[in-house]
Amino acid sequence: MNIFDKIKAGKNILIAEAGVNHNGNLRLGEKLIKAAKEANADCIKFQTYKADNLTTKKAKRFWKWSGEKKKSGTQFDSYSILDKFGYKEYYSLNKLCKKYKIEFQSTPFDVQSVDMLEKLNVKTYKIASCDITNYLLIEKIAKTNKPIFLSTGASNINEIRNAIKIIEKYHNKIVIMHCILKYPTPINEINLNSIPFLKKKFRKYFIGFSDHTLGTLAPLVAVSLGARAVEKHYTINKKLKKSADHWLSVDNKELKQIADNIKNINFSLGKKNKKSFKWETLARNNARRSLVAARYIKKNERFTKENLTAKRPGTGRVKANKYFLYLNKKAKKNYYKDDFI
């Protein structure tokens, strides 16, 4: 069962976004898979591209990070450092994922990468926020007829609709991922109310959340708001260099915390109603109140605010909510202080 089918079956899923945090080292990629499995992630996602197919050599780099010695330069400079993995490496990683029973996923950033991933028979695809208007790539992926997780960072509703229209020519297996395209995203800029908004706008589709905040809070709020998939950048060591994402990623301990809490959120949300549940019966009976005599009351004496009160437990014949009905009625017998009425 792939992660899209798990969502259809009612499960919330966690995608450990390894990206290029393998640093071009196959052994490190293997460690990421093992640790993601140990953290109970449903899927580990990489990023597949060749710098020459992704960017011109003159496109300026628009981000800053501590992983490179050089603070300026081009996007090509940065992406070419980590584009060395090819079919052989991804075949090995995919094979290891099968062994550990965790889904292998990768975001292709060019059509050539889609062809390579198809040779690996990947089960699902992710389309990055930056490619939501890259109709050439969207159509290429949609033609595979495999479920698509569509990230929506820095996009508007019309751009999302237009991307979905292209996919719908081939299938409707879509998860729309709320995302803010800023690394890292401050917690006050994450705008998680976009999740119920997107649920209302795109009722046919599942909504997820691709998270770029620091820490573990945002994914849990997102699931509470209805996100069915959470993607979180992940590393085994935040101090590693080379990849720009290590320092803003969660480690395996934090990833497991997110996975466990998502599971607990599933349990805690329950059903959309409000009633007294059977597991509340003991407290309901003993913490609620019954009408009792506030002092000695003679037979035929009228109940008043001075001689009638409400005390625990709530197992008496007359419950506290009958207080106003009993005022001014005559006592049918003698009552001592604290006797149930």
How far apart (Å, rounded) are the C-alpha atoms in residues 341 and 338? Answer: 9
Mean pLDDT split into 10-residue runs, the chain, 341 residues = 97 96 96 98 97 92 64 84 93 98 98 98 98 98 98 98 98 98 95 98 98 97 97 94 89 96 89 93 97 98 98 97 98 98 98
How much is the CA Rg of the chain, to the nearest whole Å? 29
Cα 305 to its chain centre, rounded Å, is 54
How far apart (Å, rounded) are the C-alpha atoms in residues 318 and 309? Answer: 11
User: Is residue 22 a contact partner of residue 42, using CB atoms and an 8 Å limit?
Assistant: no
Mention every residue, 6+ apart, whose C-beta is less than 8 A from residue 289: 310, 311, 312, 313, 314, 319, 320
How far apart (Å, rounded) are the C-alpha atoms in residues 130 and 153? Answer: 7
User: How many residues make up the chain in this entry?
Assistant: 341
pLDDT value of residue 280: 97
* 300 class by beta-carbon count within 10 Å (0-12 exposed, 13-18 middle, 19+ buried): exposed
Q: By three-state DSSP, how is residue 183 classified?
A: coil
Buried b (16+ CB within 10 A) or exposed e, 1-13: ebbbebbeeebbb
Kind and range of the H or E run holding 73: none
Beta strand 308-311 with 148-151 is unpaired
pLDDT value of residue 70: 57
**Ordered domains of the chain (ranges, CATH):** 3-269 (3.20.20.70), 278-326 (3.90.1210.10)
Q: What phi and psi values does residue 113 have, to the nearest 5 degrees?
A: -70, -30
pLDDT value of residue 198: 98
pLDDT value of residue 63: 73
Kind and range of the H or E run holding 176: strand 174-179
User: Beta-carbon neighbour count of residue 322 at 10 Å?
Assistant: 14
Structure tokens, 341: 């009425």
pLDDT value of residue 278: 95
pLDDT value of residue 312: 98
Query: How far apart, in Å, are the Cα atoms of 216 and each of 88, 238, 239, 267, 287?
Result: 34, 15, 18, 19, 36
pLDDT value of residue 12: 96
Question: What is the reported pTM?
Answer: 0.88
